[in-house]
Structure 1
C-alpha cells in the first residue's frame, strides 16, 4: 500500500477533503467498531485540533506532512488530561499529568490523537485479552485474538480506524500483533525514541514503536519521534532516514536465518514451508542466504521472562494506591497496600510480579537473575558475531497462527512461548520490523544496532520480491 500520510496530506492541502470530516469519519468508525479496540476517545480535543488545521489551510498557510493526520495511542502512554488506564482496574480513573516525549513530538508535528487503545494490562500478555475492556478481536477473523500487548493499536490500523498507531514493544508487543493483523510494526533500536511517559514494563527492553500500513508511513513517524531526550538517559541522537535511502537495495548482499528456529517441532508446518519459500525467492534475487546458529527458543523465552518479570516487579512496586490508582482501604496501612494490589492487578500481572520478586529474592538472585543477565550479554555478543557475517537476519514472527480468544488464558506457558521468535531481538536491543508478507503472521527483518534504515530498506525490497 502507498503512504496514507502522503495521500491524505495532498488531499488536505488541495482541500479535496477537510480535516474535520476526516477526523469525524475516523471517530465514527471507532464508535461503531466491534473489535474492542477503544479504551477512550479523544473526541473533543481531536475535533478542536481538526478545525484549527482547516482554518490554517483556508487562510493559505502551509501545513506539515503529519499535520491533521489522525492517529491512535496504546493506553500506556501519558497524554496530559486524558485517561491513561493501562487497561487495568488499578488505573481505570487515572488522568495523565503530562505528555510522553514521543507523543509530544507527534503533537508538535500537528498529528491528531483520536483514541487511547485497548491492550494487555500493563503490557502483560501476548493476546490483548488481559484487559478490563474485553478481549481485542482480530481484524481478519474476530474469533481470533488481536495479538498483544499492542492489539488494539494493530487492529485499529488494519481496520483503517487510525492512519497509524503508537504501540509499545518490550518482547514483541508491536511486532506480534502487527503480524496477526497483516500490517507493519517496528521495534526500533533501543534508545532511538524516548521512553519518557511510557509506563515502564521492563525498562531494559521497552521501546516506542509505530504501526502502519506502509513502510513509508513507518519511516515518517519514526523520524518524527526519534532523538535524544534529557528525560531519558538511554536515548541518543540518530540521523533522519530519507525516502531515497530506503528505496534501493544495493547495499544488502547477505541474509541470515536461525536454522534452529525453523527446524523446531514447535513451528507450524505451513509457516515453516512459507518461510523457506520466501528464502528461495530472496536467493533468486542474487542475495546470499546463510544458516546461523543461535540460542534455543526456550532459552530465549526463559531469559527474557526472568529479566522482564524482575523489572516489572520493581517498576510496579510504586502502584499501591497511595500516589497512584484505585485505593482500597483496609484495617491498617500494610493491609491497605495488600488489598489494593491484590484486588486491582489482573491474574497475569500478579503472576509476573510474584515471579519477579522470586528471582530477585535472596537465595535466588545469584542463581537465576544474575544468570539471566549473563545470558543477555551472551545473546548480544552472538548478534554482533552474526552481523559480521550477514547484513540482515530474517525470521518468522511467530511459530504458530493466532489462537482463538480464550485459549491463551487457559495456558499461560503457551502464551509465553508465542514470543519465542521475538524476545531474542528485544534482548539484543536491535531494530526489528514485522512485514505482512511471507507467512500467515508475516516475517521479521532485523539489522544491527542503530541500523533501522537497513531494516526499512530490506522491507522495501521484500515488498516487490515475495
Structure 2
C-alpha cells in the first residue's frame, strides 16, 4: 500500500538522507509557505530530536516506523513548553504546561513535531478564516478557503509540508478541510482516542484524528494514538488495525446513502452527478446500494449547533483572563471579565458563546436545549437502524465546493450549512473518513460505532474502484 511513512522510514534506514536533512527541508518549506498554515515553528525541538534519530542510525540501532517522521499539530493541542494559542487573541501568549495524550504517544513513538498549525479560533468555523494569523489558503487554489477548522493541518499535508498532521473534529473539522484539499482525514469513533490536552469545543463530539496522504498512513497513526486513557473517562481499549485486515473488503456486501442529501436543492449539480456516478461504479462491483431515509440537513445543522454552542459556552467560561490569557483591566472585576472576553474573542466565538448561553438560559433550555438532546438520541437510533441494513454509508463531504476567502465571513449561516453532511455523523459519534475521490470535495465513508477498521477497508476498496 502507498505510504509516505514507510517510504521515508526506508530512506532513513538506508541512509539515503539524514533525519536532520529531512526536518530542515520541511521547516524551510513551512517557513516560506504563503498559505498561512503556521502559527509557530518548533524548529529547535524538531532539530534536536532529528539529531537523536541520526545518532541511532549511525550507531546501527534499529528505529521504529514513526521514528524521525515529521508531523504537524493543530494549534488546539497542548505541547509542553510551546505556545498553544487556539489561533485566538486571548491565548496568543499562552504556553502549555503539559502535553496532550495523543501527541505524547506520537512523541513516544519517535515522531517529530514541526509546527503548531493555523485553525479557526477555538475550532469555531468551517473555513479557517476566524484566526488572528490570517485566513488559511486552499492548497489547490489560494483564492479559496482551506476549510475548517483544521485548515492549516489539511493544507500542510496536501502541500507536503508535513507527512501527517493531527487535527480535531467536532462537526466535520477534519473531514471537510481534507475534502477541500484532496487528502485523507479520519474522525475516529468517539472515545477511541483520548481528548486529554485538546482544548474543548463541544466535549460530546470532539474527536482527535489524523490527516494524511494515504489510507495506510492514517492507519499507522491511528494505531499509535488510540487507546484507553485514565485522564479521559470517555476512552476505551481498542484493538490495533492490521495492514492485512484492510486489504480485504469481501465482507462489505451492502452500501447505503441518504437520498435526502442527494435530492436536495442545496447540493452543487456537479457534486450530485459525480456522487451518483460513484454509486453506479460501486454497483458494477456487485455490491448492493440502498437509498436510506434520514433527517433533513436543516434539522441536523440546527441540532448540532444548538448542542455545540451550549457546550462551548460552558467550556469557554473559564477563559476570563484570571488564570489563562490576555487580561484587560477595567474599573472593577465584573468589567474586567467583560472587557477581556469582549476584546479577545473573535466575532464567531462570541456568536457561539451568546448562542450557547441563550439555549441554556431559563425559559429556553427546555424548549431548545432539551429538544436538541432528544433529537440527538433520535439521530443515533436512526443510525443504529441503518447499520442493521447496510455495512457502510457513503455521502458527499460537502454540498458545495470551497468558497472564496471572505465570503464565509459575510454569511455565517452559509458557513454553518456547509457542515450539513458532516455534523450528523458527529452527533452519532461514528467513525467517518474523507477520501479524496468521488466528488470535487471527496467522499465520506461511515460505519457503526467501533467499526473504524471497516471504514478503512472500504476506503481502500474505493481507491481502486473509482
TM-score over 0.5 for the pair: yes
Q: Does 1:72 align with 2:109?
A: no
Counterpart secondary structure, 1:155: helix
Task: Find the counterpart in structure 2 of residue 295 from structure 1.
Answer: 295
Equivalents in 1 of 2:22, 2:381: separation in Å? 48
Structure 1 residue 340 displacement after superposition? 0.2
Task: Tell me which residue corresponds to 1:53.
Answer: 53
CA distance in 1, matches of 2:209, 2:438: 22
CA distance in 2, matches of 1:320, 1:260: 43
Give the SS at the match of 2:116.
strand
Separation of aligned partners in 1, 2:158 and 2:321: 36
Q: Does 1:126 align with 2:126?
A: yes
The offset of 1:105, in angstroms, is 0.2
In structure 2, how many angstroms separate the alpha carbons of the residues matched to 1:433 and 1:379?
Answer: 19
The alignment status of 1:106 with 2:106, answered yes or no, reads: yes
Distance in 2 separating the partners of 1:118 and 1:89:
13
Q: Partners of 2:261 and 2:45 in 1: how far apart?
A: 46
How many angstroms apart in 2 are the aligned matches of 1:354 and 1:391?
40
1:24: Cα distance to partner?
A: 0.2
The answer on 1:237 being equivalent to 2:237 is: yes
The corresponding residue for 1:89 is 89
SS of residue in 2 equivalent to 1:434:
strand
**Aligned partners of 1:250, 1:259: CA distance in 2, in Å?**
25
What TM-score does the superposition give when structure 1 sets the normalisation length? 1.00
Please state how far the C-alpha of 1:96 moved relative to its aligned partner. 0.1
**Residue 349, structure 1, aligned to residue 357, structure 2:** no
Whether 1:158 and 2:158 are equivalent positions in the alignment is yes
Q: Which residue of 2 aligns with 1:384?
A: 384
CA offsets, 1:180-230, max 9 Å, x none?
Answer: 000000000000000000000000000001000000000000000000000
Match for residue 254 of structure 1?
Answer: 254
> Counterpart of 1:289 in 2: which secondary structure?
strand
| Pairs within 5 Å for 1:159-198 | 159-198=159-198
Give 5+ residue unaligned stretches, structure 1. none
Runs of 4+ in 1 over 2 A off after TM superposition: none
Instruction: Determine the C-alpha separation between the residues in 1 that align with 2:213 and 2:379.
Output: 31
Aligned to 2:446: 446
Using the TM superposition, give the Cα deviation of residue 366 of structure 1 relative to its aligned residue in structure 2, in angstroms: 0.3
CA distance in 2, matches of 1:13, 1:237: 32
2:279 — aligned with what? Answer: 279
Shift of 1:90: 0.0
SS in 2 for 1:210: strand
Secondary structure, aligned partner of 1:116 = strand
Distance, in Å, in 1 between the alignment partners of 2:375 and 2:15 is: 56
Following superposition of structure 1 onto structure 2, how do residues 288-367 of structure 1 map, counting pairs within 5 Å?
Answer: 288-367=288-367
Q: Which runs of 5+ in 2 are unaligned?
A: none
Residue deviations 1:78-137 (CA, integer Å, cap 9, x gap): 000000000000000000000000000000000000000000000000000000000000
Deviation at 1:2, TM superposition (A): 1.6
Give 1:263 deviation, angstroms: 0.4
Matched residue of 1:388: which SS? Answer: helix
C-alpha separation in 2, matches of 1:134 and 1:461: 38
The alignment yields a C-alpha RMSD, in angstroms, of: 0.4
CA distance in 2 between partners of 1:407 and 1:110 (Å): 41
Q: For 1:221-236, what aligned pairs fall within 5 Å after superposition?
A: 221-236=221-236
Q: How far apart, in 2, do the equivalents of 1:58 and 1:326 lie?
A: 46
Q: Aligned residue for 1:200?
A: 200
- 1:312-354 CA-to-partner distances (Å, cap 9, x unmatched) read 0000000000000000000000000000000000000000000
Say if 2:43 is the partner of 1:43. yes
Matched, 1:430 2:430: yes
**Does residue 212 of structure 1 match 2:179?**
no
